[in-house]
Amino acid sequence: MIDFRYHLVSIIAVFLALAVGLVVGATALAPKTEVILSRLQTELSKQNGNLSKDKQALSNQVSADQIFAQAAGPRLLPGLLTGEKAVLVVAPGADSAVTTGVTTVLHQAGASVTGVINLSSSFVGTGGQNEATLTQLAQSLAAQAGVTLPTRSTSPVGGQQDAAQVLAATLLTRDSASGLSSGRSHAILNAFSVAGFLSIGSGGSSVRPATIAVLVTPGGVAPQTGSEVLVAVAVALRNAGSGTVMAGAAASIGAGSVISAENSAGQVSTVDNADTETGQIMTAQALRLLLDGRAPAQFGIGPQNAPSPAPTPSVTPTPATTITPGGRR
The CATH number of the domain holding residue 273 is 3.40.50.2300
Average pLDDT, the chain: 82
Phi and psi, residue 113, nearest 5°: -90, 115
CA pair distance 295, 292, nearest whole angstrom = 9
Length of the chain: 329
Share of the chain above pLDDT 70, in %: 77
Residue from 231, 271, 269, 262 nearest 126 by CA: 231
pLDDT over 50 at 163, yes or no: yes
Q: What total of structural domains would you count in the chain? A: 2
- 63 and 84: one domain? no
Q: How confident is the model at residue 29 (pLDDT cuts 50, 70, 90)?
A: low
> Looking at 25-34, 82-91, 205-214, which range is the least confident one?
25-34
Rounded mean pLDDT of 257-261? 89
pLDDT for 60 equals 64
Q: Is residue 329 part of a domain?
A: no
Q: How confident is the model at residue 21 (pLDDT cuts 50, 70, 90)?
A: confident
- 226 and 98: one domain? yes
- 104 and 215: one domain? yes
pLDDT for 62 equals 62
- 238 and 164: one domain? yes
> Looking at 28-32, 45-49, 161-165, which range is the least confident one?
28-32
Q: Is residue 115 part of a domain?
A: yes
- 179 and 226: one domain? yes
- 206 and 112: one domain? yes
- 84 and 66: one domain? no
Q: Is residue 311 part of a domain?
A: no
Q: Tens of pLDDT along 46-55?
A: 888 777 777 6
Q: How confident is the model at residue 177 (pLDDT cuts 50, 70, 90)?
A: low
> Looking at 70-79, 180-189, 195-204, 227-236, which range is the least confident one?
70-79
Domain housing 132: 80-299
pLDDT for 19 equals 76
- 162 and 206: one domain? yes
Output 299 or 67, whichever has higher pLDDT.
Answer: 299
Q: Is residue 309 part of a domain?
A: no
Q: Is residue 327 part of a domain?
A: no
Q: At what angle do helices 4-76 and 277-291 cross, to 10 degrees?
A: 60
Q: Is residue 165 part of a domain?
A: yes
- 151 and 258: one domain? yes
Rounded mean pLDDT of 258-271? 91
Q: Tens of pLDDT along 78-137?
A: 999 999 999 999 999 999 999 999 999 999 999 999 999 999 999 998 777 888 899 999
pLDDT for 310 equals 52
Instruction: Give the contacts of 60 (CB within 8 A, at least 6 positions apart).
Output: none
- 264 and 157: one domain? yes
> Looking at 157-166, 253-262, 267-276, 292-301, which range is the least confident one?
253-262
- 150 and 255: one domain? yes
pLDDT over 50 at 322, yes or no: no
Q: Is residue 25 part of a domain?
A: yes
Rounded mean pLDDT of 160-188? 88
- 52 and 98: one domain? no
Of 39, 70, 101, which closes a domain?
70
Q: Is residue 30 part of a domain?
A: yes
